[in-house]
Structure 1
Amino acid sequence: ANSLALELAGIDDDTPDPVGGKILRDAKGKATGVLIDTAMSLVGDLIPEPSKADIRTAVTEASRRLLALGVTGVHDAGIDLREAEVYMSMARDRQLDNRIYAMLSGASDNLSGFGKPITRYGDDRLDIRSVKLYADGALGSRGAALLEPYSDDAENRGLPFFTTTELAEFTHRANDLGFQVGIHAIGDRGNRLALDAFEEVQRGRASLLRNRIEHAQIIALDDIPRFAELGIIASVQPTHATSDMNMAEDRVGGERIKGGYAWRRLLDNGVRIAAGSDFPVELANPFHGLYAAVTRKDRQGLPGDGWYADQSLTRYEALRAFTLDAAYAAHQEQRLGSLEPGKWADFIVIDRDYFTVAETEIDDIVVLETWLAGERVYPFTEDLQ
């Protein structure tokens, strides 16, 4: 943020760091304008909210771009009540071009103001039956909460947003209303906070609500089996591994990285993985994610042998994580995620065989057609005329 933004937000050299955030300061203690994690809201809250018409326009444009990439359904993590109203209005008007599985932002007024979960709304285009919480920040900013100090910042263990008790209290409340809970957790302490909260709420057993941990990036090795024991879904984003590999080991060191982006260890321990992109943080193209999951390489093909390639997925495992198990994570596996009698005919036509092309070509696969509910929705009609 520039100096004017800091002034408008009332941030000066004496402003205390908010819980779960940090105001970076120079050697003289002056605020630099770099705001980490929850500190961003000090300025972000001053930005005028978009109108409902603006939100509707943005949803329509984003949907078109996603259909062109072969994405028929998305999990939108962290919407507010105004966005929920727009989604519901568009679904009623049959104007949702993708299937949306929406997760309310974990602010308490969102949960109390919404009511009960909704499913299969607007001709099965909209579900709002989940809530998004945060256990910690991001690894790149050193906001991810770690059990031990950062390997490249010995005085820093990251920024936990809540205690286990606080996470458990909110999770209990949301679950009692019938909402699934997805907790953002990046660091090994963040993941343990989330697991401990789920264990307390679920009394050590799996829950029919299928609670999730979003990202599940750095996990203590002895915590990995707990995902399966508690029935917690690991919602991962394969391109995070290839985007973060330039700094991840610097942040956590050679030992802790063994539990980092550890998809093979998760699967081998019986954990269900749902895969996505985390766009707009990463690009939305699912073939970038499939390529990263299978090769553990970036889009330039580096490193040549793959980054910790022993944690890669097979092509089938990766595809299942992006389709059927993603549907399972949204309670939709009975109607989405695979082509079977009784399910919606959501599918794509691509320019080459994902299972037989060279690994280097997975990232280059092009979507020729996208079909939703048995209707071709891409290419767009105006493009065919």
Structure 2
Amino acid sequence: MTDGSTRKRGGADLIVVNALITTLADDATTAPEVEAIVVRGDRIVFAGTSEEAEAFRGPDTRWIDADGARVVPGLIDSHIHMVRSGHSWNGEIRWGTQSSLKDALASVSSRAQELPPGTWIQILGGWHPDQFVEGRGPSAAELDEAAPDHPVFVQCLYDWGLLNSVGAQHVGLTPDAIADLDPAGFEYDEQGNLTGRLWGMPMLKWAFQRIPKLSIEEQVAGTARVSRELARAGLTGVIDGGGVTMGPDAYEAVYETWRRGELSVRTRLMLHSSGPGAEFDEIGNFLRYVRIDAGDGMLRVNGGGEIVLYRSHDGMTESADVGEDAAEELYRIFRMFAQKRWTVHMHAIQADTADAVLTAWERVSEEFPVRDLRWAIVHGDNMDTAAVERLGRLGAGLLTQALYWFQADTAVEHWSDPASETSPFLAAIKRDIRVGLGSDGLRANTFDPFSIMSWFVTGVSINGSRTLSPAHRLTREEALRAYTVDAAWFSFEEEQRGRLQPGTLADFVVLSDDYFTVAEDDIRKIRSVLTVLGGRATHSDLDGIRVDPQPREVTVDRV
């Protein structure tokens, strides 16, 4: 690939030619696949042949010959936890790309050599033992050997955590300190000594809350870094789902990163309360004082969720409280959102949780119709066809993630055999219900979009298990649409983002390999060689293409 010169106000700012450009266009004049696109400012102004694009070229136009590479619209992760990850990113090591435990432990040793003794080293999810050739995670003794003078905390998804000896001392992991906690949440050796391993979300929170938080400046730097990593992966946008403990005070770093012009992905925020018992007060204050869509094209409030009521927040193996009292509280909170015309994204994995949510939505909709608010179930893995049809009647959508990618064995053990049931996401697509794909990263899953799309297309998890039958898989185009234009629907932006046609935002990705023709098993290996956001490069592996400053402000009109 080659790069031309710089920019000129009067002509095209950027032209990409000799490419295989998937447009996903819905206008009457743009073909599904074109050779060239022309960018002026932050918008596409032409999509067609390379020869026709030549007419837009000026003396200062940036010119990219793609040499036959595949180009797709910018990818949008419709459910991720970027904001929370930014708080700790500068204190983390990421194991997501490591293929052996030996190399993962070596990364801990390397970091320990860089940091003063006593500095925390954290690995906070986004990996799984099945990705390692050894087929297991680390032991406390191995962490001690890798970093004998540093506290280390390793988190595996939301399943378990592990402290090395120094880390256990720093958090005060002693029998007296945990006397009032569930003993089943901690591992003991044969002599009855605590090993440093702990199980389940409550114990992970217990440990994490005892690890010193980074300064606000470090959180801002971490937020900028994680957004650059997402751009490197080919993402141009995210819908941030908040997360446990992510209440009103958790957004200072992302807003400061935005003010400094250091965000590299368009970020849409879903807001919720900080913990059990605070839901009505904190959500009520959001609805009173926060203007929906407050922000600009880089950072904007999109609505409420994914946690609406903590007692009704389920898990892959944990049921939620959806009894009569909880159902009434859900209804009251959803009614508050509907009355103020807010979008809601609601976490529901188990079938009974989804049923309770849909029942509350149907009840609310009798008074305040939600059809135009683009509400969505997040996850929905155990929804049956009847539940999907109820979702459609409400005008709502489904945000689903490849939880089977890392957690195949857990999902198959606790859920129905995925080969014998109709997948809710395919059932939704076949009924013209919008489906957005995402990762649920950066702790519960990888944030790599091509690994996620690979599972939806192939049904193969990271351990090699086939956890989705051929009849229930998505086509490559269906998966791409759910990561682009259909994902944009959930933030009311499908007319501006997710397509490459005249008038849409110039958000696109040049790929290392052709997504539509590589072998299925190689989809997960695809990488971005150039990520462009509003006409500027946010990631580049191309000679002569540099990462550019932040784009212009963009506004959106909500239905």
Alignment of 1:1-385 (within 5 A): 5=172, 11-12=178-179, 24=185, 34=198, 36-37=200-201, 41=205, 44-78=208-242, 79-107=246-274, 108=279, 109-114=281-286, 115-119=289-293, 121-122=295-296, 124-134=297-307, 135-139=312-316, 142-143=317-318, 145=319, 163-203=326-366, 206-238=370-402, 240-254=403-417, 258=421, 261-280=423-442, 281-299=444-462, 301-303=464-466, 307-379=468-540
For 1:379 and 1:286, the matched residues in 2 are separated by 17
Q: CA contact under 8 A between 2:233 and 2:528: conserved in structure 1?
A: yes
Q: CA contact under 8 A between 2:485 and 2:497: conserved in structure 1?
A: yes
322-331 or 352-361, larger mean C-alpha shift:
352-361
Aligned to 2:85: none
CA-CA distance at 1:194 after TM superposition: 1.6
Q: CA contact under 8 A between 2:338 and 2:370: conserved in structure 1?
A: no
For 2:260 and 2:542, the matched residues in 1 are separated by 20
Q: 1:36 to 1:201 in 2, by over 3 A?
A: farther
Letter in 2 for 1:69: A
> Helix, strand or coil for the counterpart of 2:487?
helix
CA-CA distance at 1:215 after TM superposition: 0.8
Q: Deviations over 1:167-206 (max 9, x none)?
A: 1211222333343111111111111122122222222954
For 1:371 and 1:382, the matched residues in 2 are separated by 15
CA-CA distance at 1:35 after TM superposition: 5.4
For 2:186 and 2:518, the matched residues in 1 are separated by 50
Q: CA contact under 8 A between 1:299 and 1:363: conserved in structure 2?
A: no
Q: CA contact under 8 A between 2:529 and 2:540: conserved in structure 1?
A: yes
For 1:179 and 1:85, the matched residues in 2 are separated by 22
Q: 1:95 to 1:8 in 2, by over 3 A?
A: farther
For 2:427 and 2:518, the matched residues in 1 are separated by 26
For 1:61 and 1:223, the matched residues in 2 are separated by 39
> Helix, strand or coil for the counterpart of 1:119?
coil
For 1:9 and 1:377, the matched residues in 2 are separated by 50
- Number of matched residues? 357
Q: Deviations over 1:258-304 (max 9, x none)?
A: 26x5322222233211100111121111111111111111246543x
Q: CA contact under 8 A between 1:345 and 1:371: conserved in structure 2?
A: yes
Q: CA contact under 8 A between 1:6 and 1:12: conserved in structure 2?
A: no
Q: Gaps (5+ residues) in structure 2?
A: 1-160, 162-167, 547-559
Q: 1:183 to 1:38 in 2, by over 3 A?
A: farther
Q: Deviations over 1:62-105 (max 9, x none)?
A: 01111111111111111433343333333333222211011112
> Helix, strand or coil for the counterpart of 2:371?
coil
Q: CA contact under 8 A between 2:374 and 2:396: conserved in structure 1?
A: yes
211-220 or 33-42, larger mean C-alpha shift:
33-42
TM-score (norm 1): 0.80
> Helix, strand or coil for the counterpart of 1:363?
helix
Q: CA contact under 8 A between 1:102 and 1:128: conserved in structure 2?
A: yes
Q: Gaps (5+ residues) in structure 1?
A: 146-157
Letter in 2 for 1:169: R
For 2:419 and 2:474, the matched residues in 1 are separated by 20
For 2:176 and 2:328, the matched residues in 1 are separated by 31
Q: CA contact under 8 A between 2:379 and 2:400: conserved in structure 1?
A: yes
For 1:268 and 1:55, the matched residues in 2 are separated by 42
Higher helix share: 1
For 1:200 and 1:343, the matched residues in 2 are separated by 37
- Higher RCO by CA contacts (8 Å cutoff, separation 6 or greater): 2
Identity score, percent: 25
Q: 1:90 to 1:177 in 2, by over 3 A?
A: farther
Q: Deviations over 1:324-343 (max 9, x none)?
A: 11100111212211112222
TM-score (norm 2): 0.57
> Helix, strand or coil for the counterpart of 2:357?
helix
Q: 1:189 to 1:274 in 2, by over 3 A?
A: same
For 1:40 and 1:53, the matched residues in 2 are separated by 25
CA RMSD, Structure 1 to Structure 2 (Å) = 3.4
Letter in 2 for 1:90: T
Letter in 2 for 1:374: G
Q: 1:314 to 1:382 in 2, by over 3 A?
A: closer
Larger radius of gyration: 2
95-104 or 316-325, larger mean C-alpha shift:
95-104
